[in-house]
């Protein structure tokens, strides 16, 4: 029996430039082979959309930091999925019609961010994931994220 893996969106976040904290705008449009419309991170490359779990943000809160969705520059904050355990190439459905493919797990931080200096650690390099958008569609807080069976 195959167990359906699902989570949900708790924030949809954008910023004008890469590397900035993002603001939760509540909803957005994923665009095929680009990313989140209006986000500085979008473009024709493998890290079009970044995802980070609320559970990871909670770890940083447990270290005494006042952090919220978007503070780690993630586009989509999720709940209920263990994102770094999704293998590269995993397909996910986000909302009612958008689809993405996991292209990278974690990232190298070339410069230490303010969060690293405050806590001595940061979760995005280890627990954040990146996807490329295969099929566009609207996404909003409360939407389901479903891990699709790999063909």
Q: Which domains does the chain have, with CATH numbers?
A: 6-147 (2.40.33.20)
Q: Confidence class of residue 11 from pLDDT cuts 50, 70 and 90?
A: very high
Measured at the CA of 63, the angle between CA 141 and CA 85, to 5 degrees, comes to 55
Q: pLDDT confidence of 137, banded at 50, 70, 90?
A: very high
Mean pLDDT in residue range 100-111: 79
CA-based nearest residue to 116, from 71, 78, 82: 71
Q: Per-residue pLDDT for 80 more than 60?
A: yes
First-to-final CA distance of the chain: 17
Q: Which of 1-10, 16-25, 26-35, 141-150 has the highest mean predicted lDDT (pLDDT)?
A: 26-35
- Phi/psi for 119 (5° steps) reads -110, -15
* Verdict on whether the full-model pTM lies above 0.85: yes
CA 8 to centroid of chain Cα atoms: 11
Tell me how far apart the alpha carbons of residues 63 and 136 are, in angstroms, rounded to a whole number. Answer: 37
Arithmetic mean of pLDDT, 28-45: 96
Lowest mean pLDDT among 8-22, 99-113, 115-129: 115-129
């Amino acid at each position: 029996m195959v167990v359906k893996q699902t989570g949900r969106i708790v924030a949809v976040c954008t910023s004008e430039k890469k590397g900035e904290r993002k603001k939760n705008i509540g909803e957005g449009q994923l665009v095929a082979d680009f990313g989140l419309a209006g986000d500085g991170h979008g473009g024709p490359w493998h890290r079009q959309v970044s995802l980070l779990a609320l559970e990871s943000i909670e770890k940083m809160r447990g270290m005494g930091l006042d952090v919220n969705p978007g503070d780690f520059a993630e586009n989509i904050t999720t709940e209920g999925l263990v994102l770094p355990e999704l293998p590269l190439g995993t397909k996910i459905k986000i909302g009612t019609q958008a689809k993405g493919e996991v292209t990278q797990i974690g990232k190298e931080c070339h410069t230490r961010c303010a969060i690293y200096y405050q806590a001595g650690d940061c979760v995005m390099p280890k627990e954040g994931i990146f996807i490329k958008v295969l099929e566009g569609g609207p996404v909003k807080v409360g939407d389901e994220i479903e891990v699709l069976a790999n063909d």
